Structure 1
Amino acid sequence: MDITISKYKIKKIVADVFDITVNNIHKNYEIQGKIIPHKFDYVALNDAYIPIKIINEPDAVHDLMGFYAELEDCNIKNSIAITDRELNDDEQKILKAYNIKAVDYRNYMDLDDRYSFGIHKLDMAISGGLRPGFVYLISGKTGSGKTTLSSIFLAEGAKNGEKGLIILTDTFPEAFVENIRTMDINFYESYKNDMIEIMEISDKTKSLKLENMKNKADYREFITKVISGLKKVIVANNIKRVVIDMVMPLLIPDDDYINLFINSLSMEGVVVIITSILRNSDLSVYGSEENYVAGIIKLDYKLSTKGIDRTMIIPKMPVPLNNTMPMHFAITSSGIEITSKASYIVNQNKLKVTNQVDGLNNYTKKEEPVNEYAFFKSFK
């Protein structure tokens, strides 16, 4: 059968085989040889290239010989061949003769996947990334970097072939797109290539919430309809990463219904991130959201005469945490960089968004959203 394998698992395989920390995994990556360029199934980037060959053929002798020829032309010594079957005698002889490390993928099939941020120190802190099938909270006061970190998460997924969706609840999509273009994080390119969908809540959703707020018995109906509409979008577009920025306009301020809403968001194979400002607790608006999510990343900053000192802390996560201490970080035009100590940056380039209420009088839409859904509108 054909092997479909996530980059997280490939990273784990490479780390196990060579006992190294892998920085990046690239799919269909091209390396210039002495004679011609060669494209490999995957390439792990560390101090040197480590190409990975996926064996899908019933007899891979000729493919392995070609793989070795490509390695020789690129002067590459370390490589891996991944298979999910028993190799025949000829295949084993070739791998041994050419010093290609063979890995049985069946030993990794039950390993939980992780969806990484692409921010190495953050991913290391949360054991490789976020586990799919769970809902996570990124919280912090206004300007702390919630939208930036969420956008980076979606852009990283797009690079890995995982489609993303961001639902904007308090920001004009046009303003968001214009601002995201100023950051070199591959978000805008992925959006233009249909690897990231941008949506906003429709007027129907807002009206339905207002109507149901008058009658508590209708709260459950509102949640059911909104979640059902969202999941139809996710399934129809094969979405693997979802961000709701921010979640407050979709929540009913009642503990039981916040629990119902958040638990209803979880989907197998999908990571859902909700963002929230702080109000009734140190972690959320209503003070109960943190109780029902699987993991939390809290962002903060302090202002001083030196500039802005930004920190993030991970108070909760459904995986072993490798770092429970606050991490300093900076927001630059290239995204988020974890720093070893306080990094004071004045007038740094960060993603700024326009609040719908504040921006109504000074912002003119450039085009109307298209592809209307019942509860969410797609922006192109």
Structure 2
Amino acid sequence: MSPLMYVGDILKSLDRIPSGVPGLDNVIGGGFLPGRVYLVTGPPGSGKTTIGVQFLVEGAKNGEKGLFVSLVENPKIIIQDMLRYNFGLLGYIQSKTIAFHDLGSHLLRAEYRMTWNELFNAILQLIEGEKAKRVVVDSFTSMEYLVKDPENKRWALGRFIRALQELEITTIITSEMLKGESYTDEHYLADGVIVIHHFMRNYQMVRALQVLKLHGVPHDSNLKRIRFTDEGIRVYQEAPF
């Protein structure tokens, strides 16, 4: 490969793809970098899965195959929950532009525990089989208790993320963050980290989003108010308080 082509590939890789979450692209400087891996974390019920589905729907609108890999919850329940939004999700599933895979049932029913490496290889096989360009892996929470070798997570996750980058797959990984001061391997290895926060203010729940990290992209790290709407989660440029 000539240096000119190499530079061209680098510049092309700095193009942005829309996140599918209204208002988020303004916070992250125009959209996600393609072929990168992003972690969306927050407490239960904060909207992590919703953001992941919005991301896949946005790709499906542009003809990009999307894959949702569920490691814990039944995908049928996830789809049913998403029907409250005006995504047109069922149409994309029927046209096979978005595919849902239930890897969790295999993990929970298998006669033996997978290693981290076997788990990530299974996800990569699904991605290659579906020829997906956008992927959501939901959720990494409690995986340490379902694999045979929890101590190997950092090595296997780093290998997995590198494989996704080489395949030029743009990926969202979700995980629950119950303690604000605790960081996991995903936080350190992902290209970007988006955190969703819950606050109680005057007896009302206030939700906010924060871009904790985003490699290679100027971004706003301040808290931004978010709301659930009929179109999914929307990010506002205002502070939550």
Pairwise TM-score range, normalised by the shorter structure: 0.7 to 0.9
Q: Give deviations 1:346-375, integer Å, cap 9, x for gaps.
A: xxxxxxxxxxxxxxxxxxxxxxxxxxxxxx
How does the TM-score come out when normalised to structure 1?
A: 0.54
**What displacement does 1:336 show?**
1.7
Residue 167 (structure 1) aligns with:
69
Distance 2:32 2:86 in 1: 23
Which ranges of structure 2 fall in alignment gaps of 5 or more residues? 1-7
Instruction: Give the letter aligned to residue 238 of structure 1.
Output: K
**What displacement does 1:229 show?**
2.3
Residue 330 (structure 1) aligns with:
227
Most deviating of 125-134 and 178-187:
125-134
Instruction: Give the letter aligned to residue 274 of structure 1.
Output: I
1:240 paired with 2:133, answer yes
Structure 2 CA distance for partners of 1:322 and 1:257, relative to 1, 3 Å: closer
Distance 2:181 2:34 in 1: 26
**Contact 2:24-2:234 at 8 Å conserved across structures:** no
**Contact 1:140-1:283 at 8 Å conserved across structures:** no
Q: Secondary structure of the equivalent of 2:18?
A: coil
Superposition map of 1:28-47 within 5 A: none
**What displacement does 1:249 show?**
4.3
1:303 paired with 2:200, answer yes
Q: Give deviations 1:165-199, integer Å, cap 9, x for gaps.
A: 11122222222121111111233321222111111
1:269 paired with 2:168, answer yes
Residue 319 (structure 1) aligns with:
216
**Contact 1:115-1:271 at 8 Å conserved across structures:** no
Instruction: Give the letter aligned to residue 323 of structure 1.
Output: D
Instruction: Give the letter aligned to residue 134 of structure 1.
Output: R
Q: Give deviations 1:111-142, integer Å, cap 9, x for gaps.
A: 22333213353112223222233321100001
Superposition map of 1:57-96 within 5 A: none
**Contact 1:126-1:319 at 8 Å conserved across structures:** no
Q: Give deviations 1:300-336, integer Å, cap 9, x for gaps.
A: 1213346321110011111222312111111112112
Distance 1:145 1:192 in 2: 24
Q: Secondary structure of the equivalent of 1:299?
A: strand
Q: Secondary structure of the equivalent of 2:46?
A: coil
Superposition map of 1:184-333 within 5 A: 184-201=86-103, 203-206=105-108, 211-212=112-113, 222-251=115-144, 254=150, 256-265=152-161, 266-267=163-164, 268-279=167-178, 282=181, 287-305=184-202, 307-333=204-230
Tell me which protein shows more helix as a share of its residues.
2
Q: Give deviations 1:27-75, integer Å, cap 9, x for gaps.
A: xxxxxxxxxxxxxxxxxxxxxxxxxxxxxxxxxxxxxxxxxxxxxxxxx
Structure 2 CA distance for partners of 1:282 and 1:191, relative to 1, 3 Å: farther
CA RMSD of aligned residues (A): 2.8
**Contact 2:69-2:123 at 8 Å conserved across structures:** no
Distance 1:280 1:342 in 2: 22
Most deviating of 153-162 and 244-253:
244-253
**What displacement does 1:202 show?**
5.1
1:110 paired with 2:6, answer no
Which ranges of structure 1 fall in alignment gaps of 5 or more residues? 1-106, 213-220, 345-380
1:141 paired with 2:43, answer yes
**Contact 1:135-1:262 at 8 Å conserved across structures:** no
**What displacement does 1:143 show?**
1.4
Distance 1:140 1:110 in 2: 32
Instruction: Give the letter aligned to residue 176 of structure 2.
Output: I
**Contact 2:194-2:211 at 8 Å conserved across structures:** yes
Instruction: State the structure with more CA Rg.
Output: 1
Structure 2 CA distance for partners of 1:115 and 1:289, relative to 1, 3 Å: same
**What displacement does 1:292 show?**
1.3
How does the TM-score come out when normalised to structure 2?
A: 0.81
**What displacement does 1:238 show?**
1.3
Structure with the larger RCO, 1 or 2 (CA within 8 Å, 6+ apart): 2
Q: Secondary structure of the equivalent of 1:329?
A: strand
